[in-house]
Structure 1
């Protein structure tokens, strides 16, 4: 029920990020340093931190503990972000500084931190090469590199995000999530448009979460009669799972929110406050906006697209049950989270279920050369904010079938106040105190599942 990435930024901030990366490479790490590790984890996001800690802890329980120089996380980012919090920032509920920590501070001393980014994957030699040319060998590789947001995939978006008068914002960046709240709060009348692209994105419910919060804010402050709220989505329905989609569509109709399906945002003219959408028949339509919340298209990292470990779409190709690579020649490679080919929604809720499965199979592989019976069923979750004090908790598995934790107690197709407080209060605390430390196992809570 959590989702995070620490590597997605608007293109307009590239200069700043490049400076940060150069600084990160100059860090003098106090962690053990070596060019050969038993386990190398690429990525220090929610997936990387969670699984690296769980792997170390799993070996510790067997009487064959790993050494401080056995596990390494490779990532040059200075900061780690809790991205679900950005929706709370955009809704005016929390300051964005609550959702950022120094990455190095989250990596325990018994795990090495290599503050560099990967440039090349060489699975045949069981090694990776960093951007500085350093070659790192491994017995087992875990790829948890996340995805990238293609800010330049929408013409004019980066410039509009940098312009405080454009009325354009996005909760998909730490740098702009507070602008979302400023824009929502300052709007007194006009057209408020919220967009979602076609295709795979991180946390597919987020584009409408912020829309529902804005709508409710306008209702509570007596502005809703002067503001028209519309949802433009490249998808054919409100949500991928039928049960929740139908409930959300009823909510949309009850609240008078316009629904424009299979409309994909392709350009923004911020000077004239016009947005251009492309429809499935190839035609384009221009729409006037006063406020525009944009969700950019997303996809695999460039470093993965050309590597030998990915499928045709650019995702790390793994078995959907075991999370082991599908190529027998690369059996010592595992992957989880947003960069993987797993056919489920890309959220950290999914990672909480994936991490213990990957850990158990990796442990078994290192011990016997074969994976265990641990299987991932595709569980993921999307806590859908529908207003202040309201949240619809969508939980499902492979096949887009609901897999609900509280379905025997309440109808999870309806918004509940207690779920709202899960999102606002419980989940952030569980994330910082448990998940990034490898102590949170999804629906099993703090208890590591047995396989």
Structure 2
């Protein structure tokens, strides 16, 4: 039996329902990722037992920012995951199910198991879907442990990255970035730097050509950090190819086909020893299938500052599933959670005036080696919005320690419990009130 105060302790709340059960709640939270879990924690405390219903099919919850370090051989997958039952709030009701159909005009959803949930308010926090199947040959490569194909984006495949680097003898190590949207957009290049570090420590770097093939026209969207990252890439000998989008993987021949977006219609077939793939990503099916809730790309259509839905005032969104023009990161979710808390409280109190505004804050700790990190923080306008009173474009061991050891504990203990809402207050204190 687990101790009650252990993080492994399974909270005692319902995860089952009768078939085709009719359920009513004050607040429905769709999705149990970082955004859904933190918002459920905030409001279940306020609203009381079973007033919040969470619909989430997964049995495990993962701190996905740690996957880069897992793939780089610096952490284990076990350190990145905990049972979903241990992180969801005990005051809420958990339906281990997924939404099959949204009916926002009726304040209702239907689940795969046939349950109908009526809500007064709804938070959509479904994240994004990893579309590995959209690249021919990719799933085949990932299914073969000796193929050299790997991906840090899924717990199913992340250990393949370390194993592929361990098995490396000689050749090209290629890391890809697809056409946006992409969650954690720094992760695709972080593994290139960690691969360089990994191979150097094992005396194999001289036999490797490490490449970063990105579909973007730049290395990073914020110039200050992009300038620093170009220096890192040059120093490490990582070849950066912009405007390169992965089209196909041929695992039998160990080759990858890229389109050159700088020369439309041109493709190139490149041999690889290791191919780390960031998959194409998009909205989950049920959300994409509800035109009432989404924009033309299938993402939840919310106001960029208030996070309230553009057409349905009882619906709010948080995180990767929204059409907010910010980076899709856990840090962005933390900042959004404080805005959403205040605005949803106001809406539940009958106010038509929503007091809080989201400025697009996001953060990307860009790991550049086994003990170095550039801590990028920025807003909607891609302007640096840094927490610490130092130049965060400089590689620092302190920032790596923050990324690898402090932020995971902050996530499990504070963010998922509903207490962490981003570093805005700390930033103001450290900058003597002179920062935004």
Structure 1 length as normaliser, TM-score?
A: 0.88
SS class of match (1:97): helix
Query: Stretches of 4+ moved more than 3 A in 1?
Result: 26-29, 444-447
Tell whether the 8 Å contact from 1:87 to 1:171 is kept in structure 2 after alignment.
Answer: yes
Matches within 5 A, 1:11-30: 28=16
Structure number with greater CO (CA < 8 Å, separation at least 6) is 1
Alpha-carbon spacing, 1:91–1:36, altered in 2? closer, same or farther (3 Å): same
Matches within 5 A, 1:356-395: 356-395=338-377
Distance 1:149 1:260 in 2: 23
Tell whether the 8 Å contact from 1:51 to 1:356 is kept in structure 2 after alignment.
Answer: no
Alignment: residue pair count: 410
Tell me by how many angstroms 1:198 deviates. Answer: 1.5
The answer to whether 1:324 aligns with 2:308 is yes
Distance 2:163 2:146 in 1: 11
Which one of the candidate residues 28, 35, 47 is aligned to 2:35? 47
The answer to whether 1:435 aligns with 2:415 is yes
Distance 1:38 1:342 in 2: 25
The answer to whether 1:283 aligns with 2:266 is yes
Distance 1:162 1:354 in 2: 37
Q: CA RMSD in A?
A: 1.9
Tell me by how many angstroms 1:253 deviates. Answer: 1.9
SS class of match (2:395): coil
The answer to whether 1:305 aligns with 2:291 is no
> C-alpha deviations, 1:260-282, integer Å up to 9, x for none?
11110010111111000012212
> C-alpha deviations, 1:312-369, integer Å up to 9, x for none?
1111000011000111xx1110001000111100011001000011011001001024
Segments of structure 1 that go 5 or more residues without pairing to the other structure are 1-25, 60-65
Distance 1:255 1:91 in 2: 16
Distance 1:36 1:28 in 2: 15
> C-alpha deviations, 1:394-431, integer Å up to 9, x for none?
0001111110001x2x2111111001011111111111
Tell whether the 8 Å contact from 2:27 to 2:120 is kept in structure 1 after alignment.
Answer: yes
Counterpart residue number, 2:10: none
Counterpart residue number, 1:246: 227
Counterpart residue number, 1:415: 395
Distance 1:212 1:185 in 2: 15
SS class of match (2:139): helix
Structure 2 length as normaliser, TM-score?
A: 0.91
Matches within 5 A, 1:88-167: 88-167=69-148
Distance 2:44 2:349 in 1: 14
SS class of match (2:373): strand
Distance 1:290 1:323 in 2: 44
Tell whether the 8 Å contact from 1:439 to 1:446 is kept in structure 2 after alignment.
Answer: no
Alpha-carbon spacing, 1:99–1:304, altered in 2? closer, same or farther (3 Å): same
Counterpart residue number, 1:190: 171
Tell whether the 8 Å contact from 1:362 to 1:371 is kept in structure 2 after alignment.
Answer: no
Tell whether the 8 Å contact from 1:119 to 1:131 is kept in structure 2 after alignment.
Answer: yes
Distance 2:348 2:366 in 1: 39
Tell me by how many angstroms 1:27 deviates. Answer: 5.1
The answer to whether 1:294 aligns with 2:274 is no
Tell me by how many angstroms 1:222 deviates. Answer: 2.6
